[in-house]
Chain A
Amino acid sequence: MAGVDPNTHVELEGVSKRFGGVLALNGISLKIERGSIHALVGENGAGKSTLGKIVSGALQPDDGRLLVRGEPVTFRSPREALASGIAAIAQELSIVPQLSVAENVFLGAEPRRAGWVTRRALRKRYDDLAASAGFALPAERSAGRLRTAEQQQVEILRALSRDTDLIVMDEPSAALGGPDVERLHEIIRSLARSGKTILLVTHFLREVLQLADRVTILRDGQLVRTTAASQETEDSLIQGMLGRPLGAAFPARPQVAAEAPVALSVRDVHAPGVLGVSFDLRAGEILGVAGLIGAGRTELARAIFGADPRTAGTVELADAGELGGGPGASLRRGLAMLPESRKEQGLVFGRSVIENVSLSSLRGVSRGGVVNRRAERAAAGRVLEGWALKGDTDAPVASLSGGNQQKVLFARMLMCSPSVLIADEPTRGVDVGAKRAIYDLLVSLAGRGVGVLLISSEIEELLGLAHRVLVMRAGRVVTELGQEEMSESAILAAAFAEREVAA
């Protein structure tokens, strides 16, 4: 037995985690050095968030061990991890909006005397903490009135207040604008300088290269490599994440015929979060929509589809005229939408694959209101054909992997034979193989003349698939980029344009 390496803060040995039929992590072994910024990168579904959650106690490994300071530990909850000095800052922030900043920071650990919170002691401890952390927020301001970046700082302070020496941050900059990202990076660096260890889960590769000391690449739940960040480039990281150079990840786009008619015409659409968007989508075209979280992309999709009411503006389908009414009306007239979250908005998890596929076109396989189950099965079978869907089509959808669930949802759309498909984050939480299958499908739909509106947070996806990209910010389309002008930097520059405006 080798002695405990004092520089190793946390070590994972052969950690595996399975969700239903999917192996999310497969035998991961990894050392995280004390006082370092250690980044985890990988595609969506590669297992990086899962790994972060295992370190912070939110998930338990099925296999393997976790060692903190050389001691094997078993965290049954985040609370137990906290007792070992490990805290997590999740993508969804958990502050209580009605309470003040200081109250939020010490939530659940308020200084109290005989059950009463002593406000003066609370304030003093907050000031001490802020001084040692090197950044401060107004203690008495109610947390609900803070900006996202500041709410995140509240969470960081909260983590520090519990004497944490390792903070797991899951996509901390995803919801932030330009200057806030810089500020966050400064805070992370100063935390590392003061001896805290940071485990950074992120898909912003530039952030990794700027910030991290070491980086671990995951792909399909497997560890690809752990190296010093200084030895990596964006290209080498992408290659590691995809297992191949970026170009090969996408099928060739069919050309949009110059005379292709407009399939969907959106004019000055207003809805909550959408402030006047107009565009034309041509038949056979894949139109990408980029933007940061909160830029209004999903809101736009829902407003076009009729999932949320439009407050102004018109949506017109070439084949069916102006659209009004809800999702049912849109579907009947040839506009389908693949929703952002297949779990919350897409699938009925307890029901079978067949029932989920036929749900939107049940009338087509029914007579007199009675479902013809043989016709239903045949029609669903036709759209599922070629998907290589593994598993029983009578089994509940819940038993399928994320990629297969997404295929079921796509099959539902196909069964409606839409003329326009809105796909909102179609590859979220899907493994690499299924991703390619979804890309192929989108391209083949476009090849058959379907207009595709593709919303994605993965810029590579837009670069690889779209003929044109609209960049949204604060509810508006700020830039339109043709295929020649598209690049990661052009899209990011437009998405973060706030910075340029402010300067």
Chain B
Amino acid sequence: MTGSPETAAPREPAMRRPELPDWASGRLRSAGIVIPFVVLFIVLTISSSSFATKVNLLNILDQNAATLIIAAAGTLVLVAGGIDLSVGAVYALAGVVSAELAQHMAPAPAILIGVLVGFVVGIANGIVATYFRISALIATLAMSFVIAGIGSLITHGNLVVLFTHPGFGNLTHTEFLTVKTSIWIMLAAILVLGLFLARTTVGRYMYAAGGNAEAARLAGVNVNRVRVVSFMLSGAAAALAGVIDASRVLSAQAGNGESLTFTVLAGIVVGGTSILGGEGAVWRTVVGVLFIALIGNGYDLLGLNPLYEQITLGVIMLLAVGIDAWARQRST
């Protein structure tokens, strides 16, 4: 009838179970992409003698300079709680605009105007996605059609060729300390964007805006303005990337960036930046993009059937997002 002694008196505080504290699983996640990256790097070094050579590694960086720049800025957009699906179109438009202009003027202003175009599109994206309260997904998707259309109008659907204006190529083909300027520009852009996100007040506000927009607003953060800044940087970065690639190959075409948007998103997500906002870092994105690049490089060097490359990439993305969702569920 009467309960056991335990039921009458409160028990000793229950023992702590030896499990990872929630924040520790978060830190594990934040380092997550580094381990597979290092493993892949070692495997490729062992299995292919031409992998760990200066030529091959610099080639990878040169080929992925555009993707890395866009993805670095895209990280800011995702952290701040947005998404930018127009980067591919902006990349193409900026390439086309600067290439067209370079046929009639000096390379420097052509380059600057190209980048400026992306800047303006980015601000427009940001305003539509915040003050007009249209979801960033839809706003930037719609914008990407508009921009792609404008690109086609400018080129009349033709390839813009610049072989007669090699000066435009100097932007990326000049060598400095035996490394191409395309790579130097990319490194500078990543460094600036990474420090901006990690160290400035606006960078902090981006984490707050994406992590909990209402809390950020009540804490005095101008969430809309912060998000507009992220879109602005994304637009400018996409344009810079477009100009860099136009200079690298001395040509530009309106349909150039069609698959780029998704390559960029894949890199960001594989790096471990959450598409739900509030978490992520530029360095992680760099590792994510390079991880994907290494997979492609590995398929080439090892002569594997390239048909499997995309399947591998898709599975890796699902794993990355799945781990993120799992870790989030645990920490709430």
Instruction: List A residues at the B interface (Cβ < 8 Å).
Output: 2, 13-14, 16, 18, 20, 23, 26-27, 29, 63, 222-223, 305, 307, 326-328, 330-332, 337, 339, 344-351, 355, 359-360, 362-363, 366, 369-371, 373, 392, 395-396, 398-399, 412
> Cβ of A369 and Cβ of B10 under 8 Å apart?
no
In whole angstroms, what is the CA distance A373 to B217 when docked? 22
Q: Which 10 A-B pairs have the closest CB atoms?
A: A29-B7, A328-B220, A348-B211, A27-B11, A222-B10, A331-B220, A395-B23, A399-B23, A359-B219, A360-B219
In whole angstroms, what is the CA distance A63 to B219 when docked? 39
In whole angstroms, what is the CA distance A373 to B10 when docked? 45
In whole angstroms, what is the CA distance A359 to B221 when docked? 8
**Partner among A26, A327, A348 whose Cβ is within 8 Å of the Cβ of B208:** A348
13 CB contacts below 8 A, A to B, read: A13-B7, A16-B14, A23-B14, A27-B10, A330-B220, A337-B218, A344-B215, A348-B278, A350-B207, A350-B331, A366-B201, A370-B201, A399-B331
> Cβ of A351 and Cβ of B22 under 8 Å apart?
no
In whole angstroms, what is the CA distance A381 to B187 when docked? 36
B21: CB under 8 A from chain A? yes
Closest to A363 in B: B201
> Cβ of B14 and Cβ of A412 under 8 Å apart?
no
**Partner among B6, B205, B279 whose Cβ is within 8 Å of the Cβ of A29:** B6
B214: CB under 8 A from chain A? yes
> Cβ of B211 and Cβ of A349 under 8 Å apart?
yes
> Cβ of B22 and Cβ of A399 under 8 Å apart?
yes
Closest to A332 in B: B220
Residues from chain B with Cβ under 8 Å of A395 in the complex: 21, 23
Knowing that A2-B1, A26-B11, A366-B201 are A-B contacts, what are 20 other residue pairs whose CB atoms are under 8 Å apart, sorted by A's residue number?
A14-B7, A18-B14, A26-B13, A29-B6, A222-B10, A305-B218, A339-B215, A348-B211, A348-B215, A348-B278, A349-B331, A350-B211, A350-B279, A351-B208, A359-B208, A359-B221, A360-B220, A369-B200, A370-B199, A396-B22
> Cβ of A26 and Cβ of B21 under 8 Å apart?
no
Assess A339 versus B212: contact at CB under 8 Å? Given A26-B10, A371-B199, A398-B23: no
A117 → chain B closest CB, angstroms: 34
In whole angstroms, what is the CA distance A13 to B204 when docked? 48
In whole angstroms, what is the CA distance A2 to B3 when docked? 12
A245 → chain B closest CB, angstroms: 20
A307 → chain B closest CB, angstroms: 6
Residues from chain B with Cβ under 8 Å of A366 in the complex: 200-201
Residues from chain B with Cβ under 8 Å of A399 in the complex: 21-23, 331
> Cβ of B217 and Cβ of A27 under 8 Å apart?
no
> Cβ of B278 and Cβ of A351 under 8 Å apart?
yes
B222: CB under 8 A from chain A? yes
Residues from chain A with Cβ under 8 Å of B22 in the complex: 20, 396, 398-399
A59 → chain B closest CB, angstroms: 14
Closest to B213 in A: A348
Query: B8-28: contact bitstring with A at CB < 8 Å (1 yes, 0 no)?
Result: 001101100000011100100
Assess A369 versus B202: contact at CB under 8 Å? Given A23-B14, A350-B211: yes
> Cβ of B207 and Cβ of A355 under 8 Å apart?
yes
Residues from chain B with Cβ under 8 Å of A326 in the complex: 217, 220, 222
In whole angstroms, what is the CA distance A419 to B222 when docked? 22
Assess A307 versus B218: contact at CB under 8 Å? Given A14-B7, A349-B332, A395-B23: yes
In whole angstroms, what is the CA distance A483 to B215 when docked? 34
B216: CB under 8 A from chain A? yes
Residues from chain A with Cβ under 8 Å of B331 in the complex: 349-350, 396, 398-399
> Cβ of B199 and Cβ of A307 under 8 Å apart?
no
Assess A27 versus B6: contact at CB under 8 Å? Given A369-B202, A395-B23: yes
> Cβ of A345 and Cβ of B201 under 8 Å apart?
no
Residues from chain B with Cβ under 8 Å of A369 in the complex: 200-202
In whole angstroms, what is the CA distance A428 to B222 when docked? 27
Closest to A14 in B: B6
In whole angstroms, what is the CA distance A348 to B221 when docked? 12
Closest to A305 in B: B218
B112 → chain A closest CB, angstroms: 24
In whole angstroms, what is the CA distance A498 to B279 when docked? 49
> Cβ of A355 and Cβ of B204 under 8 Å apart?
yes
Within residues 293 to 332 of chain B, which ones have a CB less than 8 A from any CB in chain A? Answer: 331-332
Assess A29 versus B278: contact at CB under 8 Å? Given A369-B201, A371-B200: no
Residues from chain B with Cβ under 8 Å of A346 in the complex: 215, 218
> Cβ of A344 and Cβ of B278 under 8 Å apart?
no
In whole angstroms, what is the CA distance A137 to B179 when docked? 79
Closest to B21 in A: A399
In whole angstroms, what is the CA distance A395 to B216 when docked? 19
Residues from chain B with Cβ under 8 Å of A328 in the complex: 220-222
Residues from chain B with Cβ under 8 Å of A330 in the complex: 220
Assess A27 versus B14: contact at CB under 8 Å? Given A326-B217, A348-B211, A348-B215: yes
Residues from chain B with Cβ under 8 Å of A360 in the complex: 219-220
> Cβ of B219 and Cβ of A344 under 8 Å apart?
no
Closest to B22 in A: A399
A74 → chain B closest CB, angstroms: 19
Residues from chain A with Cβ under 8 Å of B212 in the complex: 344-345, 347-349
In whole angstroms, what is the CA distance A13 to B205 when docked? 48
Closest to A347 in B: B215
B325 → chain A closest CB, angstroms: 14
B274 → chain A closest CB, angstroms: 8
> Cβ of B216 and Cβ of A359 under 8 Å apart?
yes
**Partner among A13, A20, A362, A392 whose Cβ is within 8 Å of the Cβ of B201:** A362
B326 → chain A closest CB, angstroms: 15
In whole angstroms, what is the CA distance A363 to B221 when docked? 11
In whole angstroms, what is the CA distance A307 to B10 when docked? 44
**Partner among B7, B216, B222 whose Cβ is within 8 Å of the Cβ of A348:** B216
Closest to A359 in B: B219
B143 → chain A closest CB, angstroms: 27
Residues from chain A with Cβ under 8 Å of B7 in the complex: 13-14, 27, 29, 223
In whole angstroms, what is the CA distance A351 to B10 when docked? 36
A82 → chain B closest CB, angstroms: 24
Residues from chain B with Cβ under 8 Å of A351 in the complex: 207-208, 211, 278
In whole angstroms, what is the CA distance A337 to B217 when docked? 12
In whole angstroms, what is the CA distance A39 to B201 when docked? 50
In whole angstroms, what is the CA distance A373 to B26 when docked? 22
In whole angstroms, what is the CA distance A395 to B331 when docked? 12
B7 → chain A closest CB, angstroms: 4
> Cβ of A396 and Cβ of B222 under 8 Å apart?
no
Residues from chain B with Cβ under 8 Å of A347 in the complex: 212, 215
In whole angstroms, what is the CA distance A348 to B81 when docked? 13
Residues from chain A with Cβ under 8 Å of B10 in the complex: 26-27, 222-223
In whole angstroms, what is the CA distance A14 to B207 when docked? 42
Within residues 256 to 308 of chain B, which ones have a CB less than 8 A from any CB in chain A? Answer: 278-279
Residues from chain B with Cβ under 8 Å of A27 in the complex: 6-7, 10-11, 14
